[in-house]
Amino acid sequence: MRNLKITLWVVAIALIESMFGTYIKIGEIMPDLLFVFVLCYAAEKNTVSSTITVSVICGALADCFSGRIFGNNLAIFLICAVLMWMIKENIFKSGILVSLLLIFVLSVFGKSMYFVSNISVLKNVGYLYSLFRIILPEALFNTVISAIMLPLLRLTLKKRSGLYT
Amino acid sequence: MSFSKKRVWVIVLAIMIATVALAYLSRNGTNPVSKAVNSVITPVESQLSKVIHPVRKVFSYIGKMEEYEAENQRLKQENIELNARIKDVSTYKEENERLRKLLGITNEYEYETVAARVVSYETDNWFSYITLDKGTSNGIDVSDTVITSDGLLGQVTEVGVNWAKVSTVINSESSAGVRITRNGEIGIVEGDTMLSKSRKCRLGYLTANASIIAGDILETSGLGGIYPPGLPVGKISEISKDNMGRLDYAIIEPFVNFDKLYEVVVITGWSVPQAAEIPVDTIQPQQEQPEENQPEAVNDENQNVG
């Protein structure tokens, strides 16, 4: 049942992102919903194996939709999800505000990685421009979306015992 | 670091190596994972888009009612002017056909086409790709040109049985050989990451002694053999000059409205006509052309010039 719920989440987010992505833009910037979902899932102290599985599936989906080299998003999603899981597991164990802050920081980190990995084809654009005009606004947007997504995810994936395994 | 954490990083590393290997093996074609996923997802998106597109159109219409009214008035005025020009155009058309026959170029503008529906849009803030609901089963192939009723949209970069990914002209990976309709000057329109945010692209690589003005209309030149010639691309909206007052580059506003893409046409089976061979000496980067009014050459080894 839990796996079915996660699958439904992923499919719904993937469809929303690919079909409505351009309609939820603010100031020409749109959030990366699949990336937000992966970070939210990792922040919710799920098992590391399920965190890796979800991040790989979502990363692969993002790569399939992107039309670009396969593996670029997958690698970034995976690294950021594992980092989020480790930080939540070992350093900051609870608190939604901490999760939101980490989502913001990891969004900046992940999208900076994306910029670096695509630098050869991003014409006439420097890192500072990208940071202030694309990466930071997107990270902020991602954080706002995650503030809505986190409680919803917590609600739908919560086990009766109230604990995750 | 405990064993389990070590194992986590080993798994992460293994997945990344497998991904890199998969990306490397499929570097010359569409990835098998991408093919499978898009083959399943695109029909779902296609069905959903049939419901969603009319709703989008209605909301778009309500939101821009005043704009449409003004546009209607402008079009009525234009219609009157165009009617006055029809007589001149038909004379030119006859002359054009006569000259074409004379040159033996008869089928240059007769393309096989496939109509397709846009089912999904770009999913990140860096690149501009769209997905169509038709693929190889409809005769679409990689490198096919995609147009709308307004003009050139882009080129197919990936294709599956029932889907195709299109890299649009504003994508930073795209470039197209163009001709200025006013004076026949040729140049290259390239995507630009910064300009693509405002749905624009840039014009560079103009020939020696090129003269351009804001408002100039651009169409594909056919040089390079990727895009067929004569497809409307856009108009020059701004000309940027460097500190010395020399032409730096021009900003192009494409005719295609990227926020209202519903149906498109894919040109299939087009091949380079004999008459459109590239006169290599006519395309030179600006650094090698010290004369005034030359655009800056933007060199990128990854670009395809259509």
Residue type at B25 in one-letter notation? L
Which one, of B86, B87, B166, lies nearest residue B127 by Cα?
B166
Angle separating helix axes A48-66 and B32-63, nearest 10 degrees: 70
- Position B296 scores a pLDDT of 41
Encode burial over B264-276: b for 16+ CB neighbours within 10 A, e otherwise. bbbbbebeebeeb
H helices present in B151-212, as ranges = 193-196
Task: With a threshold of 0.85, tell me whether the complex ipTM lies above it.
Answer: no
Integer CA distances (angstroms), A108 to A22, A89, B173, B251, in order: 21, 21, 23, 30
Q: What is the pLDDT of residues B180-231, one digit of tens each?
A: 988 888 889 988 888 888 888 999 887 667 788 888 999 998 887 788 888 8
Task: Measure the CA–CA gap between B57 and B78, rounded to whole angstroms.
Answer: 25
Neighbouring C-beta atoms of residue A43, cutoff 10 Å = 27
Task: Measure the CA–CA gap between B289 and B213, rounded to whole angstroms.
Answer: 19
Residues in chain A, total: 165
- Position B279 scores a pLDDT of 47
- DSSP secondary structure string for all residues of A15-59: HHHHHHGGGG-BTTB---HHHHHHHHHHHTT--HHHHHHHHHHHH
Q: Is the pLDDT of residue A163 over 50?
A: no
For Cα atoms B40, B45, B50, give the angle at the middle one, nearest 5 degrees.
140
Task: Measure the CA–CA gap between B60 and B260, rounded to whole angstroms.
Answer: 9
Which one, of B203, B190, B205, B211, lies nearest residue B289 by Cα?
B205
Contact B197 A28 (CB under 8 A): yes
- Position B245 scores a pLDDT of 65
Residue type at A80 in one-letter notation? C
Pairing relationship of beta strands B217-220 and B112-120 according to DSSP bridges: unpaired
More confident site: B4 or A39: A39
* Residue to test with chain B: of A124, A129, A141, A142, most B Cβ within 10 A: A124
Phi, psi angle pair for B40, to nearest 5°: -85, -45
Q: Which residues of B touch A64 (CB under 8 A)?
A: 31, 33-34, 37-38, 41
* Residue to test with chain A: of B19, B252, B296, most A Cβ within 10 A: B19
Going by pLDDT thresholds of 50, 70 and 90, the confidence category of residue B104 is: low
Q: Give the N- to C-terminal CA distance of chain A in Å, as an integer.
A: 14
Q: Is the pLDDT of residue A78 over 90?
A: yes
Task: Measure the CA–CA gap between B272 and B296, rounded to whole angstroms.
Answer: 28
Of the candidates A23, A32, A66, the beta carbon closest to that of B127 is on: A66
Averaged confidence pLDDT in chain B: 77
Contact A71 B127 (CB under 8 A): no
Q: What is the pLDDT of residues B236-280, one digit of tens each?
A: 998 877 666 666 688 999 999 887 788 888 998 776 655 544 444
Which one, of B167, B187, B190, B207, lies nearest residue B289 by Cα?
B207
Q: Is the pLDDT of residue B292 over 50?
A: no
Least trusted range by pLDDT, from A41-50, A91-100, A101-110, B280-289: B280-289
* Residue to test with chain B: of A48, A65, A140, most B Cβ within 10 A: A65
Task: Measure the CA–CA gap between B103 and B101, rounded to whole angstroms.
Answer: 5
Question: Considering chain B, what percentage of its residues have pLDDT values greater than 90?
Answer: 14
- For residue B147, the distance in angstroms to the closest alpha carbon of chain A comes to 18
Contact B123 A21 (CB under 8 A): yes
Q: Say if residues A124 and B193 touch (Cβ distance below 8 Å).
A: yes
